[in-house]
Amino acid sequence: MLSVNELESAFQILEKCTLCPRDCKTNRYVDDSGICTMGKEIKISSFGPHYGEEPEIVGMTASGTIFFSGCSLLCLFCQNSEISHYREGFFVSERELAEIMIKLQDAGCSNINLVTPTHFVPQIISSLMEAKEMGLTIPIVYNSSGYEKIDTLKLLEGLIDIYMPDIKFFTPEKSKLYTNSYDYFDYASKAVLEMHRQVGDLMVRNETARRGLLIRHLILPNNQSDTKEIIDFVADTIGNQTYLNLMEQYRPCFKAPNFTLLNEYLSKVDYDKHVDYAKSKGFRFPEYIYG
């Protein structure tokens, strides 16, 4: 956990923001013109018990989910574009965010699930430190696009129990086309290794995740998500004991209909093909996390 001086240094990053790989260098104390279009004040779209995550994240009750407004990646097929691109939501103070976490814990949630949190890391750290002083004890989930900087993740060491990143693309051409980031995999691949260093493989107790890494990959139609290459990367660099969720719920959203190869649903044949390939690499679905 950060000291007072280290927390002050984290907030200083906002004066010339380099929290995410976009490196906008926007002074967020006075400006909201960076990629995430967020200033210093925390903005969230909603919070509450959520049942739509992986069973191990939902646990025996629900995941206490907090959806942050804005995003540093901005996928053109985003299924939550009203939050990420259009920034719907309301502002809260760091104290109010801490109080929301306590409310979710008091409601019986299995964890606090921070969704798209990257651009608010210093503020979230401050809120988490305050919430822990107020009695917060349930695990903290960092639920992100995977487009992260190592230095930012290191600020979170000791505060995050479960990292739940996406790995979206392998090739620069596809990530550039759909997120305007040639360097997506370069950052995401290093980020998941840092996350794994901090928390290790996913640990489940009483059917509820307590600590570790859970990697998500949304399979896009027509091989637009480089799924085979990403399965290979995870197997070869982190290992096939990693919790890897191959997600099949893609649907053409936001600007996806503008792209011929994205303007259709994923077929069951394609999904099963990728799952079979993952199994051939030693991944097990879904029971493998129980050992």
Contact 214, 163 (CB under 8 A): yes
Number of neighbours of residue 7 by Cβ within 10 angstroms: 16
pLDDT class for 291, splitting at 50, 70, 90? very low
Using CA atoms, how far apart are residues 136 and 125, in angstroms rounded to an integer?
Answer: 13
Q: pLDDT digits over 104-120, tens only?
A: 999 999 999 999 999 99
241-245: average pLDDT: 95
Strand, helix or coil at 122? Answer: helix
For the structural domain made of 4-290, what CATH number should be given? 3.20.20.70
Q: What is the pLDDT of residue 286?
A: 58
- Does pLDDT of 288 surpass 90? no
Q: pLDDT digits over 40-99, tens only?
A: 999 999 999 999 999 999 998 999 999 999 999 999 999 999 999 999 999 999 999 999
Peptide bond preceding 286: is omega within 30 degrees of 0, i.e. cis?
yes
- Does pLDDT of 287 surpass 50? no
- Does pLDDT of 174 surpass 80? yes
Copy the structure tokens of residue 16.
Answer: 């010339």
Question: Domain boundaries in the chain?
Answer: 4-290
DSSP strand pairing (203-205 vs 162-165)? unpaired
**Percent of the chain at pLDDT exceeding 90:** 93
- Does pLDDT of 289 surpass 80? no
Nearest Cα to Cα of residue 223 among 173, 257, 286, 282: 173
pTM of the predicted model, to two decimals? Answer: 0.96
Number of neighbours of residue 112 by Cβ within 10 angstroms: 26
